[in-house]
């Protein structure tokens, strides 16, 4: 993924800095190695997701790979990425509104060469270790929830309450999905009915306009997520770390869409002459 533009990176970092917990230095002598300031750890969010490499590849003299991993674990424990995703999503809903009458759900299988809690044999990559991201989006393609799972798991588990990381909005009325060779949707209508939604599943033999009626937006959102190197080539082994990267990628997508659409709806000081 190309470098994030400053119009997206700066607002996200301001929110991240506000969510970071305060840390008090309690060393009795104060002669230990000083802690690296927070702004230097912006590499946790960038360029890490862009290049999709390990922490040793982006470490340098100013910050070691151990320091990056330690700060990553601190941010995961504080739930920074999930809080950021929720705040950006709430801002989008407040300013532009979420179209929750229709919900689209789909999955995407990527590589996970290091294995871990969310890796499994991929049915589309000669049973190599793979990660499946199940994404639920609203009618405009804004990601509402994402769940990581091994590549041999089914997509419809996203709609089951135990697998949903954050409750989907109760205003959703219909869900659209795709039926594939590995996806068995026999129980999905009952799952949707229990959540108060009506399912519309694409089937083989039906003309393309019906299949692509409201489902193309989730495929576009998956393509945006695949631009994130940390998701396209996942080297994390812990589920909490993968979920943190998913939340961060969703926040980047929502923030970018918010700025792009707000440019045509609002005017503010310092607004660029070109749409971001």
- The pTM score is 0.82
What CATH number does the domain containing 142 carry? 3.30.420
Predicted local distance difference test score (pLDDT) of residue 254: 93
Predicted local distance difference test score (pLDDT) of residue 2: 47
Q: Which residues pair with 135 in a beta bridge?
A: 106, 146
- Asked whether residue 91 is domain-assigned, the answer is no
Predicted local distance difference test score (pLDDT) of residue 165: 42
Predicted local distance difference test score (pLDDT) of residue 265: 84
* pLDDT of the chain, 276 residues: tens digit per residue: 445 777 787 888 888 888 887 777 676 776 666 676 665 555 544 444 444 557 777 777 777 778 788 888 888 998 999 999 999 999 999 989 998 888 888 888 999 998 899 999 998 889 999 999 888 899 889 999 888 989 988 766 555 554 444 445 656 666 676 654 334 445 566 666 776 777 777 666 766 555 566 778 888 999 998 888 888 888 889 999 999 999 999 999 999 899 888 888 888 787 778 777
CB 241 within 8 A of CB 48: no
CB 132 within 8 A of CB 108: yes
Residue range of the domain that includes 105:
99-249
- Asked whether residue 172 is domain-assigned, the answer is yes
- Asked whether residue 86 is domain-assigned, the answer is no
In the chain, at which residue ranges do the beta strands (DSSP E only) sit? Answer: 102-111, 120-121, 129-138, 143-150, 174-178, 198-202
- Asked whether residue 32 is domain-assigned, the answer is no
Q: Which residues pair with 110 in a beta bridge?
A: 131
Predicted local distance difference test score (pLDDT) of residue 41: 53
- Asked whether residue 156 is domain-assigned, the answer is yes
- Asked whether residue 263 is domain-assigned, the answer is no
Predicted local distance difference test score (pLDDT) of residue 178: 60
Number of domains composing the chain: 1
- Asked whether residue 104 is domain-assigned, the answer is yes
* ∠ CA 65-66-68, rounded to 5°: 65
CB 201 within 8 A of CB 185: yes
Predicted local distance difference test score (pLDDT) of residue 124: 87
What contacts 145, CB < 8 A, 6 or more positions away? 135, 136, 158, 164, 165, 166, 168
Q: Which two tokens stand for residue 36?
A: 């690296």
Question: Helix 239-265 crosses helix 6-19 at what angle (to 10 degrees)?
Answer: 120
- Asked whether residue 93 is domain-assigned, the answer is no
């Amino acid at each position: 993924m190309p470098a994030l533009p400053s119009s997206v990176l700066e607002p996200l970092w301001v929110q991240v800095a506000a969510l970071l917990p305060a840390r008090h230095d309690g060393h009795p002598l104060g002669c230990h190695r000083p802690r690296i300031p927070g702004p230097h750890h912006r590499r946790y969010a960038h360029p890490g997701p862009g290049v999709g490499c390990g922490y040793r590849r982006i470490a340098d003299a100013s910050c070691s790979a151990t320091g990056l991993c330690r700060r990553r674990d601190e941010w995961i424990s504080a739930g920074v990425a999930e809080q950021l995703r929720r705040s950006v999503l709430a801002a989008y809903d407040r300013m532009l509104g979420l179209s929750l009458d229709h919900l689209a759900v789909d999955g995407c299988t990527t590589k996970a060469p290091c294995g871990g809690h969310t890796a499994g044999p991929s049915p589309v990559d000669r049973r190599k270790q793979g990660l499946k991201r199940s994404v639920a989006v609203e009618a405009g393609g804004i990601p509402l929830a994402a769940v990581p799972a091994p590549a041999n798991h089914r997509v419809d588990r996203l709609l089951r309450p135990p697998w949903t990381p954050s409750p989907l909005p109760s205003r959703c009325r219909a869900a659209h999905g795709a039926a594939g060779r590995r996806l068995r949707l026999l129980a999905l209508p009952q799952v949707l009915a229990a959540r108060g939604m009506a399912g519309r599943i694409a089937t083989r033999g039906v003309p393309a306009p019906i299949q692509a009626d409201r489902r193309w937006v989730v495929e576009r959102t998956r393509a945006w997520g695949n631009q994130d190197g940390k998701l396209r080539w996942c080297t994390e082994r812990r589920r909490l770390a993968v979920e943190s990267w998913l939340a961060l990628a969703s926040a980047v997508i929502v923030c970018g869409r918010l700025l792009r659409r707000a440019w045509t709806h609002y005017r503010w000081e310092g607004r660029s002459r070109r749409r971001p």
